[in-house]
Amino acid sequence: MILKVGRFPTKEKLCEVFLAAEEAGAAAISGINTVPARVSKKDQTPALDENRKTSGVCGYPIRATALNFAKEAREVISENDLQLKLIAGGGITQSQNFYDFLEYADFVMCGTGWFADPYIFTKWQENR
């Protein structure tokens, strides 16, 4: 079982969830793929519609948040001697971004990056 998670309000809450995940038998934690944010037009009205003022934002704008998640997740796993594997990603838009995440994660996922560059994986492989 892999538990897919988003951002946590505190490192303590992240730790609580990771401990429960391991106790329940999870093999890995996967995070994050979007960050909820208000999405507006230039005139500040909702970009989607009046009933959907926020949406999950992905790609480059969430990279710093995603890297922070990966760093804190690795700290929690190490500090608590958890056996969970860490799958991390978010905001990977260039092949060198994989290395930023591999500093903390066992595996890296890339979703929106390949929309902008369908050769992102090949470029990473060539530069390893």
Query: In order of start, what are the domains of the chain with their CATH numbers?
Result: 2-127 (3.20.20.70)
29-74 pLDDT per residue, tens: 999 987 877 888 899 888 887 888 777 777 878 899 999 999 999 9
Q: What is the pLDDT of residue 53?
A: 79
**Cα→Cα distances 60→8, 17, 75, 99, Å:** 19, 26, 24, 15
89-109 pLDDT per residue, tens: 998 988 888 999 999 999 999
Name the most confidently modeled range: 9-23, 54-68, 112-126. Answer: 9-23
Q: What is the pLDDT of residue 26?
A: 98
Q: What is the largest CA-CA distance in the chain?
A: 50
Q: What is the pLDDT of residue 62?
A: 87
Q: What is the pLDDT of residue 126?
A: 85
pTM attached to this predicted model: 0.85
